[in-house]
Amino acid sequence: MKLVFGAIGGLILGVGSTLPHNAQAQTYLESYTPNNDRCFDVTYRQQVDRVNTRGVRIHGPSYQPVPHFASKVGGRIVQQYNAPVFLETRTTVVPEHYSLRRVSC
């Protein structure tokens, strides 16, 4: 038993004697330029308007008599329908702008 135990102790001592006693990590300074760039994908967005086709009424519907002569002896009058007239109005919902979407450089 003593022999085995002594052999293991000698093995441990042998391995321990090969390691340097003052093992330290080596440190050094390194200068470099970090990449702090930010990349974006640019997209132009058009203006979005809400268009009201019946915005401001100019005049309402009306009927207009239009003479329509079919022959010289007798005539006929047609009541022609005139649709109402409106001015379009526009309201800006989203103004034009650029959108930036972050992407990898």
pLDDT of residue 93: 96
At residue 46, the pLDDT reads 96
Model pLDDT, residue 70 = 59
Identify the CA nearest to 80 among candidates 71, 93, 89, 67.
Answer: 67
Local confidence pLDDT in tens for the 105 residues of the chain? 444 445 455 555 555 555 556 777 888 888 877 778 899 999 999 999 999 999 999 999 999 988 776 555 667 778 899 999 999 999 999 999 999 999 988
pLDDT of residue 1: 45
Dihedral (Cα; 9, 12, 16, 17), 10-degree rounding: 60
DSSP per residue, 71-85: SSS--EEEEEEE--E
Q: Can you tell me the distance from the alpha carbon of 57 to that of 87, in angstroms, rounded to the nearest whole number?
A: 6
Nearest CA-CA partner of 63 in 46, 78, 85? 78
The pLDDT value given to residue 12? 52
